[in-house]
Amino acid sequence: MVQEPHRLKETPSQTAGPYVHIGLTPNFCDIHGVYDTDLGTAMVNDKTLGERITLRGRIFDGADTVLRDSMVEIWQADSAGFHNSPSELRGTADANFTGWGRCPTSGEDGFFHFDTIKPGKVPYKDGRWMAPHITLWIVARGINIGLHTRAYFSDEAEANAVDPLLLRIEHRARVETMIAQRDGNTYSIDIHLQGPKETVFLDI
Amino acid sequence: MSFQSNQRPETGAFFARDRGWHAPALTPEYKTSILRSPQRPLLSLDGTISEITGPVFGHSMIGELDNDLIQNYARPGESAIGERIIVHGRVLDESARPVRGALLEFWQANAGGRYRHKKETYLAAIDPNFGGCGRTITDDDGHYAFRTVKPGPYPWPNGVNDWRPAHIHFSVFGHGFAQRLITQMYFEGDPMIWKCPIVQTIPDRAAIEQLIAPLDWGQTIPMDARAFKFDIVLRGRRSTLFENRLEGN
Ligand SMILES: [Fe+3]
């Protein structure tokens, strides 16, 4: 017999189900009076540093139908490239920026929408720089384990071209699935859960 | 000023996720997964600073009744109808270390199996005193507790006669965004657990049993509420002792 490393098993994921909004954004689905506001609705305030942007998009299933019952969370660095987290040891993040947002994709058109700032670049493990990006996490009925992906920015072509993650995408045509397209101050990205335009999802 | 290893900032990458322990994306018996499951392989990425870090939620954001679903939506002097229960446990990581400051959010159907949602069509009655959501943050030992009523089972459109066993949905934030987890808790002894297509998306029986909370007789509050114990395990971190030094920062 050898010694065992004694590691616990991660709690298995289960789908967020059709009523994820009851738990995570109750005011959004008309459950008022329990929490003053839904968490993650305000990422910035008047003093937040950086370029104000909107990230918006929709999520499509394999039949190209828009999901109206899902929920998206984002996590990102501040304008200087620092995360608002105790694990960020390289510097202190902007105290006026949460870095985290949560938005249901429901209602008529199925769009999610975040008012945020454009993040700075952050280092990869080997010292190279990653292009500015926003991490997305998507849950919904029918999704058994939350899906991670990233949104990069269409006007950062130079940085994107040497981004260590984007460089690892074998089928180069799929890089486009992670690039949010700029129009004014709005970046748009559509998430495709499957099919020819399937988004690159991450096992992180 | 502390020598304790658990006081060091957590900067290690997470252990690789054991995807075989979780449900696969495509589980045809759970029909909605058919069109919502990615078909291409996931791109594996050893965690970067973007995944090792995560948002922090302070105890100050938690309201007095946030962890009491019996009262937090009830009219003054009234309370939710149903079997009164306490759900409590610890949030640990895979190395069995407590995860302090973890935000837990939970939601559930009422005692009759009915959700308070405009898309919900089950004929069971709405409880005017039950909203169905709550939240809390773990203490320094990773402990949490909340009070609620035991949710009822409910039928759902999948197969001709599919029912969800009684369950509570949990959303968990650890310390890194890669630990983000949503799951469901079931109740010990419920025969419906083993008939549910959503439960059965998980391939390993031992993994399913990790979601079943036992009756915790010792923590029962006499003449008030029974207790169920549900421990949650989030991904653990590698030690940073021998990590390659980051350059350029
Ligand atoms: Fe449910």
pLDDT in tens, B56-110: 999 999 999 999 999 999 999 999 999 999 999 999 999 999 999 999 999 999 9
Q: Tens digit of pLDDT for each residue in A26-35? A: 999 999 999 9
- In 3D space, the residue among B186, B65, B42 whose CA is nearest the CA of residue A14 turns out to be B186
**In this complex, which of A23, A62, A144 lies closest to B27 when CB atoms are compared?**
A144
pLDDT band for position B241 (cuts 50, 70, 90): low
d(CA B187, CA A155): 51
Bridging pattern class, strands B84-93 and B143-149: antiparallel
Instruction: Compute the average pLDDT of residues B27-38.
Output: 98
In this structure, is residue A94 part of a structural domain? yes
**Architecture of the domain spanning B55-233:** Sandwich (2.60)
Q: Which helix (DSSP H) or strand (DSSP E) does residue B51 occupy? A: helix B49-52
Q: Please list every residue in chain B whose beta carbon sits closer than 8 Å to the beta carbon of residue A197.
A: none
Q: Which residue of A has its CA nearest to B107?
A: A23
* pLDDT score for A2: 87
Residue B248 is predicted with a pLDDT of 40
Distance from CA of A145 to the nearest CA of B (A): 7
CA separation for the pair B143, B179 (Å, rounded)? 17
Please report where in the chains the tokens 């203490």 appear, as a residue.
B139
Greatest CA separation found in chain B? 62
Q: Does any domain span residue A35?
A: no
Residue B1 has pLDDT above 60, yes or no: no
Write a three-state SS string for A89-158.
Answer: CCCCCCCCECCEEEEEECCCCCCEEEEEECCCCEECCCCCEECCEEEEEEECCCCCCCEEEEEEECCCHH
**pLDDT score recorded for residue A152:** 98
Q: Bridge-partner residues for B93, per DSSP?
A: B234
Phi and psi angles of residue A63, each rounded to the nearest 5 degrees, phi first: -105, 15
Whether residue A2 lies inside any domain: the answer is no
> How many other CB atoms are found less than 10 A from the CB of residue A63?
10
Predicted TM-score (pTM) above 0.90 = yes
- pLDDT beyond 80 at B6: no
Looking only at Cα atoms, what is the longest distance across chain A?
Answer: 64
The alpha carbon torsion through B94, B96, B97, B99 (nearest 10 deg) reads 60
Instruction: Enter the DSSP assignment of A198.
Output: -
Give the pLDDT score at B242: 58
**Could you tell me the two tokens for A91?**
């510097």
Q: Which of B130, B182, B186, B230 to mutate to test the interface with A (most CBs of A within 10 A)?
A: B182
DSSP 8-state symbol, A70: E
Residue of chain B whose Cα is closest to the Cα of A68: B119
B36 with A140: Cβ contact below 8 A: yes
Q: Give the residue numbers spanning the domain of A171.
A: 40-192
Condensed to tens digits (0 to 9), the pLDDT of residues A76-101 reads 999 999 999 999 989 999 999 999 99
How far apart CA B163 and CA B153 sit, in angstroms, is 7
Straight-line distance from the first to the last Cα atom of chain B, in angstroms, rounded to the nearest whole number: 25
Residue pair A104/A30 in contact by the 8 Å Cβ criterion: no
Identify the pLDDT of residue B121.
Answer: 87
Q: Do A84 and B107 touch (CB under 8 A)?
A: no
- Alpha-carbon span B3 to B23, nearest angstrom: 40
Closest CA of chain A from B44, distance in Å: 5
Q: Which amino acid is at B170?
A: F
Of A10, A84, A128, the CB nearest to B21: A10
Contact B94 A7 (CB under 8 A): yes
Averaged pLDDT of chain B: 93
Give the span between the Cα atoms of B32 and B26, in whole angstroms.
9
Other beta carbons within 10 Å of A62: 16
- B158 touching A (Cβ < 8 Å): no
Cβ–Cβ contact A159 with B under 8 A: no
Residue numbers in B near A75 (CB within 8 A): 50, 53-55, 177
Active centre residues of B (catalytic): 115, 154, 164, 167, 169
Q: Which residue of A has its CA nearest to B105?
A: A23
Sign of CA dihedral B2, B3, B4, B7: positive
**Percent of chain A's residues with pLDDT above 70:** 100
Please judge whether A83 and B50 are an interchain contact, meaning their C-beta atoms are less than 8 angstroms apart.
yes
B249: confidence class by pLDDT, cuts 50, 70, 90 = very low
* ipTM score above 0.85: yes
Residue type, B13: A
The length of chain A in residues reads 204
> How many degrees, rounded to 5, is the angle at CA B241 between CA B236 and CA B242?
105
Output the pLDDT for position B245.
53
Cβ-based contacts of A193 with chain B (< 8 Å)? 35-38
Express each pLDDT in B105-136 by its tens digit. 999 999 999 999 988 889 999 999 999 999 99
pLDDT at B4: 38
Mean pLDDT of A160-179: 97
For residue A159, the SS3 value is helix
Residue B59 in tokens:
């105890």
Instruction: Give the pLDDT mean for A177-187.
Output: 98
Instruction: Identify the DSSP state of A167.
Output: H
Domains of chain A: total: 1
Integer Cα distance of B206 and B203 in angstroms: 9
User: Which chain A residues contact residue B116 at CB under 8 A?
Assistant: 22, 31
Residue A6 zone, left/alpha/beta (φ > 0; ψ -120 to 50; rest): left
The residue length of chain B stands at: 249
> pLDDT higher for A107 or A7?
A7
pLDDT of residue A174: 97
Find the CATH number of the domain harbouring A152.
2.60.130.10
Closest-CA residue of A relative to B71 is A34
- Residue A201 and residue B233: Cα distance in Å, rounded? 23
Residue A132 has pLDDT above 80, yes or no: yes
Mean pLDDT of chain A: 96
Residue B244, pLDDT score: 54
The amino acid at residue A163 is: D
User: Does the distance separating the beta carbons of A21 and B23 come in below 8 Å?
Assistant: no
Q: Are the C-beta atoms of residues B196 and B165 closer than 8 Å to each other?
A: yes
Res. B147: pLDDT tops 50: yes
pLDDT digits (tens, 9 = 90+) for B150-202: 999 999 999 999 999 999 999 999 999 999 999 999 999 999 999 999 999 99
Strand partners, A58: A190
pLDDT recorded at residue B243: 55
